[in-house]
Amino acid sequence: MHIFYRTELEKAARRMILIHRTDTLIKLIIRTITRDLKVLHAGIFLFDKQKQNYVLTASRGKQGVKVPPGLVKISNDSPLIKYFFSRTYNLWKDNFLLAKRTRIVLKRDSVKKNTKLKNFFERLLYQVSIYKIDIALPIAFRGELLGIFILGEKRNKNNFYPEELTFLSILSSDVAMAIRNATLFDDLRVQLEKNQTLFFQTISAFAHVIEAKDKYTLGHTERVAEYSLNIAIQIKKIIRIKNWEEFKKNLKIAALLHDIGKIGIPEKVLNKRKPLNDNDWTFIRAHPLIGENILSPLKDLKEVILAVKYHHERYDGKGYPYGLEGKRIPLMAAIIFVADAYDSMISDRPYRKALSRTEAKKEIEKNSGLQFNPKVVTAFIQAYTARRV
């Protein structure tokens, strides 16, 4: 019996360490308990910080007997919780609550005569019976009651053996620690997501600075980001993209920031109606490099910076600033180039009216292999057909 439980504990402990998500962890533990102890049902009440009560979050067992997840909760001052919190009521000084004891204790004179105790145990007995609890255990970490395990009686109606109680106790404290860790992970994830939102908002704010200067580009950067993403989704079907989530994120940032270098271009050039002269072009050609310069301190954005730097390079090598050719142009830059060109074509410019979407699409197709990467053009057409651009 001893050996069996030690192995089970070790197995459980090893699995628990690997799981970061609290809900997966809890389901695993409930499954382990029901399987190893052969109880009619098992469940876990978990503390909800916001609502300050304990919700039955996971359970397993016979239908009708097991408590459905999400249906019930018990409050902070319900007997089941108070029993583990307060020394007053835990008359056995044990780390578990046996239903049988609850029934027996009400027969004691000392309890019958003490109204407070009597009331408490009567209410506790009620809770024990509505949830069909045979044994309950606290899940505590450093004095904090994170939850409670409830177990129904064994299918063979036997008592729990001392080794089983020990097994459950140890499992509970391991669970407490694992839940605490998983909760910390969850909190961290929330913080990171909040940070990411802030990050993207900041980037958008910078993009809007450029748009404010160039009155014809209101909303342009966001549209380029949207088109780029939709082209990328299509291109993923033809080209293998490593770390898709990273790629998507960086693509979005690069698209939002691709024209940040325009901050170095005088407004009279940006909004000129007449054809540009050589002087003007010097400014224009410089903007990808200015963009690179501005972003260079951001060490984590290497892929983004390359996309910003090369987003005007042409597939046939006739682009700027370096005249890179073909596959040497990073995919991200090639995508943004198409998205950028497309949006420019379908928007009014100081020097010409907008083209229709069909005309713009034809232009892009015409320039496949010349201006644009052929695979990106294929992906663009897919996105166009699907009305995603």
Residue with Cβ nearer another protein (72 or 91): 72
CB of 142 to another protein, least distance (A): 26
Which CB, 40 or 381, lies closer to another protein? 40
d(CA 118, CA 101): 13
Q: CA-CA distance, 61 to 328, in Å (whole number)?
A: 60
In angstroms, rounded to a whole number, what is the distance separating the alpha carbons of residues 337 and 335?
A: 5
Residues 103 to 132 in contact with another protein, rule: CB under 8 A: 129-130
Residues whose CB falls within 8 Å of the CB of residue 253, separated by 6 or more in sequence, listed in order: 200, 203, 301, 304
Which amino acid makes up residue 69? P
Cβ atoms 297, 307 nearer than 8 A: no
Distance in angstroms (rounded) separating the CA atoms of residues 200 and 356: 31
Q: At what angle do helices 244-257 and 220-235 cross, to 10 degrees?
A: 150
d(CA 106, CA 125): 9
Q: Cα 232–357–316 angle (5° rounding)?
A: 55
Question: Could you give the C-alpha distances from 151 to 79, 175, 282, in angstroms and in order?
Answer: 17, 15, 77
* Residues between 282 and 311 that touch another protein (CB under 8 A): none
Q: Does the footprint of another protein cover residue 26 (CB under 8 A)?
A: no
Residue 71 found at the interface with another protein (CB under 8 A): yes
**67 is an interface residue for another protein by CB under 8 A:** yes
As a whole number of angstroms, the distance between CA 339 and CA 380 comes to 8
Applying CB under 8 A, which of residues 8, 24, 78, 118 lies at the interface with another protein?
Answer: 78
> Tokens representing 372?
């644009």
Extract the tokens encoding 366. Answer: 């015409």
**Which residue, 45 or 380, has its beta carbon nearer to another protein?**
45
- Three-class DSSP category at 121: helix
Pick 48 or 348: Cβ nearer another protein: 48
How far apart (Å, rounded) are the C-alpha atoms in residues 97 and 138?
9
Give the range of 57-65, 149-157, 171-179, 378-386 binding another protein by CB under 8 A: 57-65
Residue 75, interface with another protein (CB under 8 A)?
A: yes
Least gap, CB of 33 to another protein (angstroms):
18
Cβ proximity to another protein: between 133 and 332 the closer is: 133
- Choose which of 63, 115, 156, 279 interacts with another protein (CB under 8 A): 63
The reply on whether position 81 binds another protein by CB under 8 A is no
Site membership for another protein, residue 65 (CB under 8 A): yes
Q: Which C-beta is closer to another protein: that of 80 or that of 360? A: 80
The piece of 50-58, 140-148, 171-179, 369-377 that touches another protein (CB under 8 A) is: 50-58
For another protein, which residue of 12, 19, 55, 329 counts as binding (CB under 8 A)?
55
Residue placing its CB nearer to another protein in the complex, 56 or 338: 56
Size of the site for another protein (CB under 8 A): 18
Q: Which is nearer to another protein, 148 or 379 (CB)?
A: 148
Instruction: Pick the piece of the chain touching another protein (CB under 8 A) from 25-33, 69-77, 91-99, 297-305.
Output: 69-77
Q: How far is the CB of 50 from another protein (least distance, A)?
A: 12
Taking the least distance from each CB to another protein, the nearer of 123 and 208 is: 123
Non-local (6+) Cβ contacts of 73 within 8 A are 45, 48, 51, 53, 54, 55, 56
Q: How far is the CB of 128 from another protein (least distance, A)?
A: 12
**Which residue is it, tokens 């224009």?**
284
54 Ramachandran zone, left/alpha/beta (phi>0; psi -120 to 50)? beta
Tokens encoding 325? 């050719």
Q: Which residues bind another protein (CB under 8 A)?
A: 53, 55-56, 63-68, 70-75, 78, 129-130
